[in-house]
Amino acid sequence: MQRINRTPVVCLFITLVVAVLLAGCDGGSGNGDGTETPLADETGTETPSALTLSGTWEGVWQSRRTPESGTLLVTLTQTGTTLTGEVEVTGSPCVSAETIAGERSGDTVVFGTASGGPHHSMFSGTVAPDGTAMDGTYAVTSGPCAGDQGTWSLTRVTAPVRR
Residue ranges of the domains in the chain?
A: 49-162
**pTM for the full model?**
0.68
**pLDDT of the chain along its 163 residues, tens only?**
555 544 443 333 333 333 322 233 333 333 333 333 333 344 444 445 568 999 999 999 999 999 999 999 999 999 999 999 999 999 998 888 899 999 999 999 999 998 767 789 999 999 999 899 999 999 999 988 899 999 999 999 987 666 5
Answer CATH for 49-162 from 3.40.50.300, 2.40.30.10, 2.40.128.120, 3.30.360.10: 2.40.128.120
Residue 48 DSSP class: G
Q: What is the pLDDT of residue 82?
A: 97
3-state DSSP helix/strand/coil percent for the chain, to nearest 5?
A: 10, 45, 40
Q: What is the largest CA-CA distance in the chain?
A: 91
User: CB-hemisphere CA count at 13 Å for 13?
Assistant: 5
Positive or negative, the Cα torsion across 79, 80, 82, 83?
positive
Q: Any bridge partners for residue 60, and if so which?
A: 71, 153
| 129 vs 63: CA distance, rounded Å | 26
Instruction: List Cβ neighbours of 80 (8 Å cut-off, separation of 6 or more).
Output: none
Q: Angle at CA 121, nearest 5°, toward 127 and 130?
A: 10
Q: What is the pLDDT of residue 94?
A: 83
